[in-house]
Structure 1
Amino acid sequence: MHRFKDLEIWKKSRLFCSTIYEITPSFPESEKFGLTNQLRRAAVSIPSNIAEGSSRLSNKDFSRFLQITLGSAYEIETQLLIAFDLKLINDGELNTLLKELNAIVKMTSKFKSTLKV
């Protein structure tokens, strides 16, 4: 078992989740149950899956949860690009968010590759 609260990917993804929650209130009310909800759910999924996976007794199980984490990250990337296309976020916001997200993806992939399964 791993102590998820000690993992940098968990800390970074938790902060990223807060950032998503900070930007989505500016989205139109019509997106409350659409893009806003999807972005928030996927963002919450990243640190949640890291935490849940860390409780598993085998690295193989933890690795599977990290793969789900990566899937959520790519889902967020797509949703952010759509938000940009719809002019819900600007170029600067998009670039900042994608940079943060890319760092999480790289850290998660690297960590996943170190697990002996």
Structure 2
Amino acid sequence: MRDYKKYEVWQKAHGLTLFVYGSVLPVLPTSEKYDLGSQLKRATYSIALNIVEGAGRNSDADFARFLDMALGSCHETEYAVLLIKDLNYITEDLYRETDNKINEVKAMLIGLLKKIRQ
């Protein structure tokens, strides 16, 4: 069994979740807090949760499957933030900062997946 807290990708995913909760969700209009905001929350924390669940599995194949799901959640988060920006709910600067954090997590997930599958 792996210690998920030792994976830098989990640390970055956790940081992304905290960032989204602290910087993106508070600026959404009240009308979006329970729709788009809720979807963004679930997608974002699903990244870290899938890494955690996969780390608790006994095989590399199982771990890779959960990392794939984390990557899918990363893409979902990426689109939700793009939509939020295009709806003019967040500034371009906040969008870029958030998108950079998402892309960092995506790149790390892809790198870890490649390593595990070799």
TM-score, normalised relative to structure 2: 0.95
Q: Does 1:6 align with 2:10?
A: no
State the identity %.
Answer: 34
User: What whole-Å deviation, never above 9, does each CA across 1:38-81 have from its counterpart, x for those lacking one?
Assistant: 11111110111000000001110110000000000100111111
- Structure 1: gaps spanning 5 or more residues: none
| CA–CA distance in structure 1, aligned partners of residues 99 and 64 of structure 2 | 23
Corresponding residue for residue 20 of structure 2: 20
In structure 2, the residue corresponding to 1:112 is in which secondary structure? helix
Identify the residue that residue 88 of structure 1 maps to in structure 2: 89
CA distance in 1, matches of 2:15, 2:101: 10
Superposition deviation, residue 33 in structure 1: 1.5
Q: Which runs of 4+ in 1 moved over 3 A?
A: none
Mapped to 2, the partners of 1:38 and 1:58 lie a distance apart of 30
Quote the Cα distance in structure 1 between the aligned partners of 2:112 and 2:3: 14
Name the residue aligned to 1:112.
113
Aligned equivalent of 2:53: 52
Q: Report the RMSD for the aligned CA atoms in angstroms.
A: 1.0
- Hey, what does 2:42 align to over in structure 1? 41
Tell me the amino acid that sits aligned with residue 24 of structure 1: L
**Map of 1:98 onto structure 2:** 99
Distance across 1 between alignment mates of 2:117 and 2:84: 38
3-state SS of 2:88 partner: coil
Aligned length: 117
Q: Provide TM-score, normalisation by structure 1.
A: 0.96
